[in-house]
Structure 1
Amino acid sequence: MHQVGPGRQAMTRLMLGRTLERICKAVLLLCLIHFLIMMILYFDVYSQRFDLFRRNGSRTNTNVSAGTAHHYFLYNVTRANATAACLTTSPSPQPEDQQTPSPKPLPPCPESPPGLVGRLLIEFSSLMTMERVQKENPNVTNGGRYTPPDCRARWKVAIIIPFRHRENHLKYWLHYLHPILRRQKIDYGLYIINQLGEETFNRAKLLNVGYSEALKDSEYDCFIFSDVDLIPMDDRNIYHCYDQPRHFAIAMDKFGFRLPYAGYFGGVSGLSKKQFLKINGFPNEYWGWGGEDDDIYNRITLNGMKVSRPDVRIGRYRMIKHERDKHNEPNPQRFNKIQNTKNTMRKDGISSLSYRLVHVRRFPLYTNISVEIGKPPPRPFKG
């Protein structure tokens, strides 16, 4: 018998081993490919099912099939705020807005906002245009309204300016005050109360008109009354209301940056709605310049309140220089009227206010309210 030599046997075994090795590698490769295909199919099905769960959780007005209802049930019972409606196999549709989480309430605005800069440089020599001021204040909405976007203001403030023939002054006022008020985080609306005609000017009556008309616009609970020619020199002089009636303009350059006398309440002042009604608003019978601020001060003290003021270093103001307006001459009766505040304040004020509203126009930076307020009664004949 022919015998295979040892070398040939070794060669045969080697070839057989290589063949088996290749077969094993092929089998392993097929297993790996099969495993990858199974994983792809598994994750594809899982992602579709997860997507279905997510859509069912966020859109309760979409009907789910019986096959997915069980998964919808398991998904919702694990949520901390799941409702009894989620425990049914076929949840009834709910309004979509009920599923939308309500926005978090804004925190209260800080009493001293971090964006304040303190002492300001105020000058009136540069050319000022309304177009420039409007570009400077893109966040002020139509009618001169602004609400802080990141906090809840303590007061809703109506800023009221008595007005006639002061367009140039108004541009400077808007230029300086809108940025200041925004930094102070004030929720405010700005109202220019324009006295039509050329009759004697009546500042206090226009302020009463501003109070009345602003409340038609919104539920204000704080009112700042400001002359259009007064600009604060420090933005830490916060324009909102306080526990007592507030006098802001306590140190004007006109008076050498000091209070002219203890009972002075002129220029810029603020009262809450409650304080304003307690004194029956402002007097309507002060025609011409002077006296109405002292009458208001008397009304405050006679009603058991005190005037609050900022620190003299903060309550500084610059006045835009100008000539005295025509038809706003000093009121010769003001001294007698001031002495009779106690007798007149209950019948002369917001409760007796009468005027004719001519038109309301909303501009990008303020609301203009033009009114006719009548004319002064004839002065008594001096015989």
Structure 2
Amino acid sequence: MTRLMLGRTLERICKAVLLLCLVHFLIMMILYFDVYSQRFDIFSRFNGRNFSRTHPYYNLSRPNGTFPTYLPAGDHFLPSTKPETNYTPTIKPVPPCPEVPPGLVGRLLIEFSSAMTLERVQKENPDVTNGGKYTPPDCKAKQKVAIIIPYRHRDHHLKYWLHYLHPILRRQKIDYGIFIINQYGEDTFNRAKLLNIGYTEVLKDAEYDCFIFSDVDLIPMDDRNLYHCYDQPRHFAIAMDKFGFRLPYAGYFGGVSGLTKVQFLKINGFPNEYWGWGGEDDDIYNRITLNGMKVSRPDVRIGRYRMIKHERDKHNEPNPQRFNKIQNTKASMKRDGINSLQYRVLEVTKYPLFTNITVEIGKPPPRPPRG
């Protein structure tokens, strides 16, 4: 009995061992075929790469590789819906700047009592680039505007002008550059000739579309007075405080004005022969009307300006010949202007808030004796 039970036990043990061996054999076979299939896949990839080199229009790469369908002429493959790993997102085109920028505030408080430094102005305008340049980051301006200032010994005024105008121009979404045309020496001042020089020199810097000519002592009191050019020559400063915020007379074109390149060349630029104070603005107005153009102006409530009070500059005394010259604009404008301009550039320096161009413009001709 004991031997019989021992035999049955040994039989069960042998069957269990045999079963374990069978299971082990099956596992080994499964692993073997799995490794073999991977090796086969490796060889197929290798052969696929070689095949694709000789037949570049096929793609056998796994896991999505298929033979492409040949399409009839004129058809195209549909773009893949799966993004590529080296995909670079396309930059959306910048929209045009609005006609009326939404950030304008309207009437401004302009005062000249607080101290002003260029360091302060620079901190207030960190996005203005070297040379006094600014481009709106969120829209594309329709015009590239050069603002030209005739200048000599007006550091105090320039600080206030930059303090107020940079923020105004940025709110107006103007693509602009500021150029100070500095007359060298102490000879008689010639505002209009400096403006001609400014027009000529800024075109060496970039291709500007609009040219705004501004005195350094005039600050706009309303940022809705947009500093860009129009279909007709533009007079911006139509209501100064020194004139009781009124236009002094119908033909007045002084202070701040703007012309396109076409308009400027049509009048042969500005006169070069007005030495000293007065007369050149009336000559420019005559040139505009004689060439079939009209002066455009903003609303009188918007075109208000405040002038920084100052004494008359030395060597800028009233020009006694101005009235006679104004009467002869029709005869002189073809020979006296941008086509007869002569000067010499002494220095061009780009500062953080403006570009300074120092020029030598010569001396006025001797005045004829009285009588």
* Matching residue of 1:207: 195
Summarize deviations over 1:110-149 as a string: whole Å, max 9, x none: 1110000000000000000010000000000000000001
| Residue 132 (structure 2) pairs with residue 144 (structure 1) | yes
| Residue 253 (structure 2) pairs with residue 265 (structure 1) | yes
| Residue 263 (structure 2) pairs with residue 275 (structure 1) | yes
Partner Cα distance (2:226, 2:94) in 1: 20
Contact 2:251 2:282 in 1 (8 A): yes
* Matching residue of 1:227: 215
Identify which of 333, 341, 356 aligns with 2:321: 333
Question: Shift of residue 325 of structure 1?
Answer: 0.1
For the structure 1 residues 111 and 67, does the alpha-carbon distance in structure 2 shift closer, same or farther, using more than 3 Å as the test?
A: closer
Partner Cα distance (1:376, 1:212) in 2: 21
Identify which of 152, 155, 159 aligns with 2:147: 159
| Residue 285 (structure 2) pairs with residue 285 (structure 1) | no
Contact 2:127 2:134 in 1 (8 A): yes
Partner SS state of residue 240, structure 1: coil
For the structure 1 residues 291 and 72, does the alpha-carbon distance in structure 2 shift closer, same or farther, using more than 3 Å as the test?
A: farther
Question: Shift of residue 71 of structure 1?
Answer: 2.7
Partner Cα distance (1:113, 1:72) in 2: 54
Residue identity in the other structure for 1:148: P
Partner SS state of residue 188, structure 1: strand
Contact 2:344 2:359 in 1 (8 A): yes
| Residue 55 (structure 2) pairs with residue 67 (structure 1) | no
Partner Cα distance (1:181, 1:175) in 2: 11
For the structure 1 residues 73 and 258, does the alpha-carbon distance in structure 2 shift closer, same or farther, using more than 3 Å as the test?
A: farther
Partner Cα distance (1:104, 1:272) in 2: 30
| Residue 91 (structure 2) pairs with residue 103 (structure 1) | yes
Partner Cα distance (2:128, 2:215) in 1: 21
* Matching residue of 2:288: 300
Partner Cα distance (1:73, 1:319) in 2: 78
Question: Shift of residue 249 of structure 1?
Answer: 0.1
Residue identity in the other structure for 1:312: V
Partner Cα distance (2:334, 2:309) in 1: 36
Residue identity in the other structure for 1:251: A
| Residue 73 (structure 2) pairs with residue 79 (structure 1) | no
More helix by share: 1
Identify which of 110, 115, 120 aligns with 1:127: 115
Summarize deviations over 1:220-274 as a string: whole Å, max 9, x none: 0100000000000000000000000000000000000000000000000000011
Q: Which ranges of 4 or more aligned residues in structure 1 deviate by more than 6 Å?
A: none
Partner Cα distance (1:112, 1:296) in 2: 29
* Matching residue of 1:374: 362
Residue identity in the other structure for 1:143: G
TM-score for the superposition, normalised by structure 1: 0.77
| Residue 336 (structure 2) pairs with residue 342 (structure 1) | no
TM-score for the superposition, normalised by structure 2: 0.79
Partner Cα distance (2:342, 2:62) in 1: 70
Partner SS state of residue 71, structure 1: coil
* Matching residue of 1:244: 232
Q: Please list every run of 5 or more consecutive structure 1 residues that lacks an aligned counterpart in the other structure.
A: 1-63, 83-95
Summarize deviations over 1:6-59 as a string: whole Å, max 9, x none: xxxxxxxxxxxxxxxxxxxxxxxxxxxxxxxxxxxxxxxxxxxxxxxxxxxxxx
Contact 2:60 2:67 in 1 (8 A): no
Question: Shift of residue 106 of structure 1?
Answer: 1.4
Partner SS state of residue 192, structure 1: strand
Residue identity in the other structure for 2:79: R
Contact 2:59 2:65 in 1 (8 A): no
Partner Cα distance (2:328, 2:143) in 1: 33
| Residue 341 (structure 2) pairs with residue 353 (structure 1) | yes
Residue identity in the other structure for 1:284: N
For the structure 1 residues 313 and 73, does the alpha-carbon distance in structure 2 shift closer, same or farther, using more than 3 Å as the test?
A: farther
The two structures, once aligned, show a CA RMSD in angstroms of 2.1
Partner Cα distance (1:73, 1:295) in 2: 79
Partner Cα distance (1:103, 1:345) in 2: 49
Question: Shift of residue 78 of structure 1?
Answer: 3.8
* Matching residue of 2:42: none
Summarize deviations over 1:57-87 as a string: whole Å, max 9, x none: xxxxxxx98434963877x9441799xxxxx
Q: Please list every run of 5 or more consecutive structure 2 residues that lacks an aligned counterpart in the other structure.
A: 1-57, 69-75
